[in-house]
Amino acid sequence: MKVVEINDVYKTYHDTEVEVRAVSGVTLGFEKGDFAVIVGPSGSGKTTLLNLIGGLDQPTAGEILVAGHRLSELKPSELIDFRMEHVGFVFQSYNLIPVLTAAENVGFIMSLQKWPKEKRIARTGELLDAVGLSDRHNSRPSQLSGGQQQRVAVARALAPRPEFILADEPTANLDSKSAETLLDIMEKLNREEEMTFIFSTHDVRVMKRARRVITLEDGKVVSDVRTNHTS
């Protein structure tokens, strides 16, 4: 089953006098349960592509379909609701709301979605367990290490069961041990919750763990390889 369909998508920035084609004719599909990584040199358009898939930005041309929604047809406020309902985001850093505890951060989107309190608390507990932070419910982000913060961010993104999770260089700020732990957790959740992960990276360790590697160059897909390994 296709979760994301990208059809001949272009994104051009006109910010300065020069025109930058950040994404240039990309056609891609993501299946449910994918554990895919987008790689490529700096400036190749990884972030731009992820932003387009997540509905943070609109393509200049082409079409993106997510869970039956044609993103170009959504108004800005509808896009915000779309993201809340269907997309989980993990950013490189500053993911968490600093004044909320780990548990409150994990529960945040669920409360935006008006989950009943008991279900929310149960799901939060389950996910903090899954990311190995069952003893840190009441810690504020400032009291957590970078790796722990990223794990909380993954738990938050996953909590309301979105269609997929987008993670733009989630390990870029982490040491290798924390990066491995984060990847272990994402793999486990990918398996156990059948969650689709799409992330970008420069990190060779991350590439090795992915089951699908998409390579971008100058905004174009130059290779899309499925490695059949299971870890």
Partner 1 sequence: MKDRQLAWRNLWRNRKRTLITAASVFFAVFFALVMRSFQLGTYDKMYSDVIQSYSGYLQLQNPAYLDEPTLDNGFTADPDLVSRIEQDPNVEAVVPRMESFALAAAGNRTQGVMVIGMDPGNDNKALNIRNRMVRFKLTPMAVEALKSENLPGRLSKNLDLFTGEAFTDTDDLVTILGISERDSSAILPLVRKHASFPGEYLMGGETGFAVIGNGLSDYLGTVPGDTLVLMGQGWHGTSAAGLYVIRGVVNMPNPELDNRFVCLTLDDARLLYGAPGMVTSSIIGIRDASEKELAATQARLSAITGKELSVRNWKEMNALLLNQMEADNRSGAIMIGILYLVIAFGVFGTVLMMMAERRREFGMLVSIGMRKGRLAAMVGLEMLLMGVIGIIAGVIASLPIVFLGHAKPLRFTGEMARMYEDYGFDPVMPTLLPDTFYLWQVVVVLLILAVAIAFSVRKIFKLNVINALRA
Ligand X SMILES: Nc1ncnc2c1ncn2[C@@H]1O[C@H](COP(=O)(O)OP(=O)(O)OP(=O)(O)O)[C@@H](O)[C@H]1O
By CB under 8 A, name the binding residues for partner 1: 51, 54, 56-57, 77, 80-81, 83-85, 89, 91, 94-95, 97-100, 104, 107-109, 111-112, 156-157
Residue 20 binding target from partner 1, ligand X, Mg ion, none, CB below 5 to 8 Å by type? ligand X
* Closest approach of partner 1 to the CB of residue 50, in Å: 11
* Closest approach of partner 1 to the CB of residue 177, in Å: 26
* Closest approach of ligand X to the CB of residue 167, in Å: 13
Q: How far is CA 91 from CA 98, 135, 152, in A?
A: 15, 24, 12
**Secondary structure (DSSP) of 86-137:** HEEEE-SS--S-TTS-HHHHHHHHHHHTT--HHHHHHHHHHHHHHTT-TT-T
* Closest approach of partner 1 to the CB of residue 224, in Å: 25
Closer residue to ligand X in complex, CB, 24/124: 24
Closer residue to ligand X in complex, CB, 20/100: 20
Residue 85 binding target from ligand X, partner 1, Mg ion, none, CB below 5 to 8 Å by type? partner 1
Closer residue to ligand X in complex, CB, 110/213: 213
Residue 43 binding target from partner 1, Mg ion, ligand X, none, CB below 5 to 8 Å by type? ligand X
Which structure tokens are listed for 52? 């387009």
Choose among 217, 211, 223: nearest CA to 186: 211
Q: How far is CA 102 from CA 36, 57, 165, 168, 186, in A?
A: 27, 29, 19, 21, 18
Choose among 69, 91, 93: nearest CA to 81: 69
Closer residue to partner 1 in complex, CB, 101/215: 101
